[in-house]
Structure formats: structure tokens, C-alpha cells
Amino acid sequence: MSSFVLYTATGLGLAGLYFLLASGLSLIFGLMNVLNLAHGAFFAVGGYAAWWVMDSIDAVPSGPRFLIAVVAAAAVGIVSGVLVERGLIRRLYGHHVDQILLTIGLGIAAVALMGAWFSYDPRLLTQPDWFIRTTNIAGANVPNSRLLIFGVAVLFLVGLLLFLARTRHGLIIRAGVENPSMVRALGIDVSRSFTLVFAVGGMLAGVGGALGAVYFNGVSPSLGTSQLIFAFIVVVIGGLGSVTGTAVAAVLVSLTQIYVNNYLATGMGSVSVVVLLALVLLVRPQGLMGKALA
């Protein structure tokens, strides 16, 4: 029983990371039909920003310092997202395949760039003591960091849903996901929303990177790209463009992965997730809560 609780908590921590990485992908794809293969780089960039803050600002105690690190990771993520959309993606509007190719090249170059600057060896992240301590839940000693990651992801989920439901920008994004040409016909500049979703996606991925550095005990250039495949699976299972679907799918995928790894056979978790994807596509090609795929 106690091991079950531990696995579940670990799975929920991983679900938080998947959600932070996948929700941006899902929104970007839902609105712009751009599959952003450079998204993993945003994640790693956030991780490095957090690592840099934790490593260089010694004056601040480690708890508040981690808060600064997350804010820095979010800021760096926003800047990367806006730069990529404004500087590169924007030049190729209407050419979906070219946009995908562009993000592929960008992702490859960005990972190599980080490798050259920070080396391919993982950089260890200084963590506040509280993260490493455990909390006793139903007899299991759960590391606090897992709970923190899940908690932060839930906060961002609620924030994102409120943003989409209650603000004008959110309204335009939701309408744009439904029918971009209609939104344009009503005289609204959808392209500003494009920059906005890239900024939001970059921010979520950046925060995810900071938390991912905690979860995986360090930052390496492939921090995000190694998780990107699972983020894609989460996006497809959840349904493209649906934030709630992404959240549900993130939990489903990560728990499947962790349970299979621990109860059936080590290493089969990732394979089982792919099988899950195939099953969902056969039964429900549009995903759990998504619009029909083009």
C-alpha cells in the first residue's frame, strides 16, 4: 500500500511536468496548427535559467532563491517564445510544414548550442532542504518535491483555465482554436494571439524546466527533448487544443508509465504509453476532449 502511494505521488509529479510541457504545445497547435518541435528547448532553457539563479545568487536563502529561480525560468521562457514566434515562425505563415521544419532545425541547433555552452553533462541543481525531505502520507514517505511539482502544475492549470475563460485575450484564443478565419473576419488580429500563445507556452515550458531540473536532479541540454515525445503523446491523447484534456491525459500517461514500470516490467512503461496512444487513436482519433483532426 505504501509503495502504491509513493508511485502515485511520483506519477503525479511527472504528470505536472508533462502538463507544463504539453499544454503550451497543445495551445500553439490548436490555434496555429504549428507543431513546435523546439518546445523541448524552451523547457531546457528554463532549467538552465533556474540552475544559474540557484548557483550564483548565494546571498538569498535557498527557499526564496528557488522562487526567484522559477520566476527567472518563466521570464526566459516567455522571451524565448516571443522571439521564436516574432523572429522566425511569423515569416512562414500559411506554410504549416515549413513551420514544423523550422522548429525542427531550431530545436536541433538550440540543444547543440546549450551543449556547447553548458556541456552535455548534467548540471546539478542546488535544492532547498525542504524539497528532499519527505512527508508521510498513508504510511508512505513521499518526497516533498513531487508534491510541489504537482501543486505548481495544478496552480498553472487553474490559472490557464481562468485566463482562457475570463479574459478577452483568452476568449480570442478559444475562438481562434474553434475557427480562426471567422475570428479574422470579425476584424480581430489573430496574429497577436499567436505571439501570446507562444509567450504563454514558453512560460509554462520554462517553469516546467525549472521543476524538471528538481525532478530529474539536474539540467542537461536534452532535458526537454527527451520528454517531448511524451508531451506529444499527452497532447494527442488529450485532444489538440484542449487544456483540460491535456491535464487529464498528462495524469493518465504518467500514471500508466509509472505503474507499468514498477508493477509489470522496468522499461516497459514508455512502450505501454505508446500502446495507449495507438488504442486511443483507433477508438477516438480526435483524442479525449479535442476537436477533430484535420
Partner 1 sequence: MKRLVIFLVVAGLLAVTPFVPLGIPVLFTNAVNSPGTLQVLASALVLAALAVSYDIIFGITGLLSFGHALPFALGVYGTNLLMIHAGLTYPVAAVVSLLAGLAVAVVLGSVALRTSGVAFAMVTLAFAEAFSLLVLTDPIRKLGGEEGLPVASEQVPDLFRGVVNTRNIYWLALALAVFTYLVARRVVTSRAGRVFEAIRENEPRVEMMGLRPFPFKLASYLIASGLAALCGSVYLLVVRGANVGTTTPDFTLAILVMVVLGGAGKLWGAAIGGFVYGILTLRLSAVATSDAIDSLPNWLSGPLSEPLFVLGTLFVVLVLYVPGGLSAIGSGLRRT
The site for partner 1 (CB under 8 A) is made up of: 29, 33, 35, 37, 88, 91-92, 96-98, 100-102, 104-113, 115-117, 225, 229, 232-233, 235-236, 265-268, 270-271, 274-275, 277-278, 281-282, 285, 293-294
In terms of Cα–Cα distance, which of 275, 269, 240 is closest to 257?
Answer: 269
Beta carbon nearer to partner 1, 105 or 139: 105
Nearer to partner 1, 28 or 74 (CB): 28
- Please identify, using beta-carbon distances, which residue of 148 and 260 lies nearer to partner 1: 260
- For 45-75, the three-class secondary structure string (H helix, E strand, C coil) is HHHHHHHHHHHHCCCCCHHHHHHHHHHHHHH
CA distance 47 to 120: 14
Of 8 and 227, nearer to partner 1 (C-beta) is: 227
- What is the rounded distance in angstroms from the CA atom of residue 102 to the CA atom of residue 160? 27
**What's the closest the beta carbon of residue 69 comes to partner 1, in angstroms?**
23
Residues 258, 259, 260, 265: what is their CA dihedral angle, to the nearest 10 degrees? 90
Burial class (CB in 10 A: 0-12, 13-18, 19+), 119: exposed
Output the smallest distance, CB 105 to partner 1, in A: 3
Question: From the CB of 28, what's the least distance to partner 1, in Å?
Answer: 12
Terminal alpha carbon distance of the chain: 44
- Residue 92 C-alpha cell reads as 512562414
Least CB distance from residue 289 to partner 1, whole Å?
Answer: 15
Q: How far apart are CA 38 and CA 105, in angstroms?
A: 8
- What does the alpha-carbon distance between residue 216 and residue 31 come to, in Å, rounded to a whole number? 31
Residue type, position 22, single letter: A
Minimum CB distance to partner 1, residue 233 (Å): 6
From the CB of 5, what's the least distance to partner 1, in Å? 25
Dig out the grid coordinates for 54 from the structure: 540557484
Closest CB to partner 1 among residues 30, 209: 30
Minimum CB distance to partner 1 smaller for 28 or for 53: 28
